[in-house]
Amino acid sequence: MPSPARRGGSRRQAPEPPFTAAALALRFALVAVAALVDAYKPLGLRYTDVDYDVLKDGARAMMRGGSPFSRATYRYSPLVAWPLLLDIKTGLPLAKLVFCLMDVLLGNAMGQLASQRGASSHVRLLWLFNPISIVLCTRGSWDAVSVYFVLKALLSKRSPVKAGLLLGLATHLRLYPVIYAAPFLYNFCFEERRRLPWIRALAFCVAFAGGLLGPTLYAYRAYGSVYVEEALLYHLRRADHRHSFSVFWLPIYLSRALQDSRLNLLLKVAPFAAHVVLQAASLLALKHDIDKCALAQTLLFVAANKVCTAQYFCWWLPLLLVVVDDWRRILRPARNWVLSCGLWLGVAYGLEFVGLPVHLLLWGCSLLFFRANVDLLISAVSAPPEEKAPPQVRVSSIVEETDSWTDDGDTDEDVDDDPGEASGFSLKL
């Protein structure tokens, strides 16, 4: 049975200590430490992610009046490079501070969404002080930005215009949020008991198109077809054969080696078909709970994608922390997920850094990791088992049954001869 808080919907939360300030200060301090590590390289390694350098090079090209796509491997929206202009002007990693701020705001949005679902907003602490989220944003990852807009859209699920604008902007930054359009449309058409649901669905579509096409048309007018090629089409045909948890990495690796046209065609069709089936199944199974549906869609999208890297896990982890009804049910699947992830990393190290011929073993680890993702998802979104109430015995029925004994001609002696009296039990009327 769901908790009373969840059955009753949103509840008022008590004032909380300034966790936001503490989490932000922790991230800012780690950004300062990262600057020292990058400068001196005590272990011969840099702390900052290479993608941050790519964004900075793109911002430097924009400041000179050029295109960020002149930098090789820049395959993002030009909007992502805007915070890096602060770095170019000041020489300080201010864009990291922006990404850290968005990461903290994402944690607060998690608390708001949990409160909307009738749970405690303290769930946000699992993100604010999560080592994974802290390391990612301080290394220069900006994935928290798009996830933040996704959660704000879920918080605005009653407002079609606001939800559409936020989801459209999130889709512009990262293409994957487009998968949420279907559950939002279903929610506005069927779940909300309001008049003229199709008008609300149409308003969502118009707002979504505006949030998506507005910045997209700006980028196209500014940089032309190279933006479409690098920031949009590239992600549709991208197929990494290394550094990927994907179950498709070995077929992709073999296709590059064999140059088999039939295998290449299969690799184009199979992932797309898998996405269609999994997304449709998620919508049909969880259409009445848009938050759980979003979790299922995201986790399955990442697990079944042609490219699956560790930073993609942050796309669904905030949703997982919010929608879980009973943490006890996911402890074992979460443990298996961590173990399978560690096993994959260990075998991948042997292949990529040592050069061991463990291709089939690594592929088996990828299949095992996919299974762990599915098990974790099922445990997270499944309804808690209903508690069976203990059988209740009515005293009135016992009295009525006892009266029937005496009415049927039983004498007081017959009643006294009841075997129950031998055990010390007697019923006096």
Residue 260: pLDDT band (50, 70, 90) is low
Check residue 312 and report its DSSP letter.
Answer: G
More confident: 428 or 85: 85
One-letter amino acid of 378: I
More confident: 12 or 28: 28
> What b/e sequence results for 118-145 when a residue is b if at least 16 CB atoms lie within 10 Å of its CB, and e otherwise?
bbebebbbbbbebeebbebbbbbbbbbb
Q: For residue 228, what pLDDT is reported?
A: 95
Q: For residue 389, what pLDDT is reported?
A: 46
- pLDDT tens, 89-117? 999 999 999 999 999 999 999 999 999 99
Token pair for 400: 């009525």
- Distance (Å, whole) CA 52 – CA 60: 12
Residue 333: pLDDT band (50, 70, 90) is very high
Q: Is 385 helix (H, G, I), strand (E, B) or coil?
A: coil
- pLDDT tens, 364-404? 999 999 999 999 999 999 876 654 444 554 544 444 444 44
Q: Span 147-167, mean pLDDT?
A: 96
Residue 325: pLDDT band (50, 70, 90) is confident
Q: Where are the domains of the chain?
A: 142-237
Q: Span 404-418, mean pLDDT?
A: 45
- Distance (Å, whole) CA 103 – CA 206: 29
Do 356 and 350 meet the contact criterion of CB atoms below 8 Å apart?
Answer: yes
- Distance (Å, whole) CA 248 – CA 355: 20
Do 324 and 376 meet the contact criterion of CB atoms below 8 Å apart?
Answer: no
Residue 427: pLDDT band (50, 70, 90) is very low
* pLDDT of 289 higher than 90: yes
Place of tokens 């797309």: 272
First-to-last alpha carbon distance for the chain, in angstroms, is 40
pTM beyond cutoff 0.95: no
More confident: 270 or 429: 270
Check residue 240 and report its DSSP letter.
Answer: -
Long-range Cβ pairs for the range 175-179 (8 Å, 24+): 175/232, 175/235, 175/236, 176/298, 176/301, 176/315, 177/146, 177/149, 177/150, 177/153, 179/279, 179/297, 179/298, 179/301
- Distance (Å, whole) CA 92 – CA 89: 8
Q: What's the CA angle centered on 382, arms 377 and 385, to 5 degrees?
A: 145
Those residues with Cβ within 8 angstroms of residue 413's Cβ, 6 or more apart along the chain or in another chain? none
* pLDDT of 229 higher than 80: yes
Q: Compute the mean pLDDT over every residue in the chain, rounded to the nearest whole number.
A: 85
- pLDDT tens, 18-72? 899 999 999 999 999 999 999 988 877 889 999 999 999 999 999 999 999 999 8
Q: For residue 1, what pLDDT is reported?
A: 41
For residue 125, the surrounding DSSP H or E stretch is helix 125-128
Helix-helix angle 313-323:359-381, to 10 degrees = 30
- Min mean pLDDT across 46-60, 184-198, 221-235, 397-411 is at 397-411
Place of tokens 């848009």: 290
More confident: 174 or 427: 174
Those residues with Cβ within 8 angstroms of residue 175's Cβ, 6 or more apart along the chain or in another chain? 232, 235, 236
Q: For residue 383, what pLDDT is reported?
A: 73
